[in-house]
């Protein structure tokens, strides 16, 4: 089986079969990162460009490691040092990169839809590493991979996503993915952080942490973007935290074998208490490990000669 499109733009565009293909391929790559020699020659002579218009250690590093473990050449371009400061349009940047014949372009951009525009424009494979508040498909894929690894399935589960749903591309991609895979998704957060029409995406909405996580299999906590706090979008961190911080008391409302996830970076004590982040329910670091494997899988499926 192959992926239908040349690009990974969002979970919305992927079928259940494609998601399963990616998760299975990723699972087979987990082992490479534990070898004495953590490298396979699969993508030798391929060029992967990481084009990041927003700062990101973990996602960029994860893609760079994924590329290198497959023996691809990786090129990092960050917006601040790029000719974008000279006023070049994204389209021209993309066309110029295209002309240098890379095989894949990984893009993170603050504008929703930027990767989609690129994908239409250039012949190379585009991987969306986060576009505005729209989608972050590789995060949702690594989340689903981690759930499947721990629970054996991504189907029939009850998953609560808690935090600033309105501005979270992680939430959107996971909602698309988890509902597609047959799980039930609950979202929760302060009223101003819940988009009005979110129920149309097939989720249940609560403005209350206790109700949201009651009897769930998975709690996925979102990062509160402290940068946004200065814009007075929500009253105070203290208030947010008193209502929505996951801690050892409220976690008891969830199923006994609940798993706690977080896309990182964590704000300890704000959206999640340290004992929960580091405790037995947490699979946060498994998510990071699986992130490398998912990105290897995508690079392999898109440019590894399988298409």
Kindly list the catalytic residues.
Answer: 58-59, 86, 108, 136
Q: Of 3, 26, 46, 240, which one interacts with a copy of itself (CB under 8 A)?
A: 46
Size of the site for a copy of itself (CB under 8 A): 62
Is there a contact between 271 and 168 (Cβ–Cβ < 8 Å)?
no
Smallest gap, in angstroms, from Cβ of residue 75 to a copy of itself? 6
Q: Of 25, 62, 138, 273, which one interacts with a copy of itself (CB under 8 A)?
A: 62
Q: Which residues contact 200 (CB under 8 A, 6 or more apart)?
A: none
If binding is defined by CB under 8 A, does position 228 make contact with a copy of itself? no
Query: Reading across the β-sheet that carries 158-162, which strands appear in turn?
Result: 204-206, 184-188, 158-162, 218-221, 259-261
Distance of CA 295 to the CA centre of its chain: 11
**Span interacting with a copy of itself, options 3-11, 81-89, 157-165, 248-256, rule CB under 8 A:** 81-89
**83 vs 208, beta carbon nearer a copy of itself:** 83
For the chain, give the number of residues: 307
Q: Of 17, 24, 31, 88, which one interacts with a copy of itself (CB under 8 A)?
A: 88
**Span interacting with a copy of itself, options 2-10, 88-96, 198-206, 236-244, rule CB under 8 A:** 88-96
Is there a contact between 102 and 124 (Cβ–Cβ < 8 Å)?
yes
Tokens of 119: 């994908």
Element (H, E) at 138: helix 137-151
Is there a contact between 108 and 59 (Cβ–Cβ < 8 Å)?
yes
If binding is defined by CB under 8 A, does position 89 make contact with a copy of itself? yes
Strands (E), 93-157: 104-109, 125-131
User: What CA–CA distance (Å, rounded) separates 90 from 215?
Assistant: 46
- Residue entry with tokens 């372009």: 105
If binding is defined by CB under 8 A, does position 55 make contact with a copy of itself? yes
Q: Of 93, 138, 174, 183, which one interacts with a copy of itself (CB under 8 A)?
A: 93
If binding is defined by CB under 8 A, does position 286 make contact with a copy of itself? yes
Interface contacts to a copy of itself, rule CB under 8 A: 33-39, 44-47, 49, 55-58, 61-62, 64-65, 68-69, 73, 75, 77-78, 80-89, 92-93, 95-103, 223, 226-227, 264-268, 285-286, 288-289, 291-292, 305
């Amino acid at each position: 089986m192959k992926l239908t499109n040349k690009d990974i733009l969002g979970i919305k565009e992927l079928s259940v079969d494609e998601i399963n293909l990616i998760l299975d391929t990723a699972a087979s790559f987990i082992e490479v990162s534990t070898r004495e020699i953590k490298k396979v020659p699969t993508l030798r002579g391929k060029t992967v460009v990481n084009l990041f218009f927003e700062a990101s250690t973990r996602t960029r590093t994860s893609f760079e490691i994924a590329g290198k473990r497959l023996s691809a050449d990786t090129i990092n371009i960050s917006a601040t040092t790029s000719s974008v400061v000279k006023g070049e349009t994204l389209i021209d940047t993309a066309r110029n990169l295209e002309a240098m014949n890379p095989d894949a372009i990984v893009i993170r951009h603050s504008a929703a839809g930027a990767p989609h525009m690129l994908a239409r424009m250039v012949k190379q494979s585009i991987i969306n590493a986060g576009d505005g508040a729209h989608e972050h498909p590789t995060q949702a894929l690594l989340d689903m991979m981690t759930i499947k690894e721990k629970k054996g399935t991504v189907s029939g589960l009850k998953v609560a996503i808690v935090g600033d749903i309105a501005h979270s591309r992680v939430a959107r991609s996971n909602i698309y993915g988890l509902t597609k895979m047959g799980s039930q998704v609950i979202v929760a957060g302060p009223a101003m952080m819940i988009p009005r029409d979110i129920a149309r995406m097939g989720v249940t909405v609560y403005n209350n942490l206790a109700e949201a996580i009651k009897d769930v299999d998975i709690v996925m906590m979102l990062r509160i973007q402290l940068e946004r706090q200065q814009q007075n979008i929500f009253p105070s961190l203290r208030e947010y935290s008193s209502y929505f911080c996951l801690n050892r008391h409220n976690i008891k409302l969830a199923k006994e074998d609940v798993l706690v996830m977080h896309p990182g970076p964590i704000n300890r004590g704000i959206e999640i208490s340290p004992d929960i982040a580091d405790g037995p329910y947490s699979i946060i670091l498994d998510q990071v490990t699986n992130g490398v494997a998912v990105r290897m899988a995508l690079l392999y499926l898109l440019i590894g000669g399988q298409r």
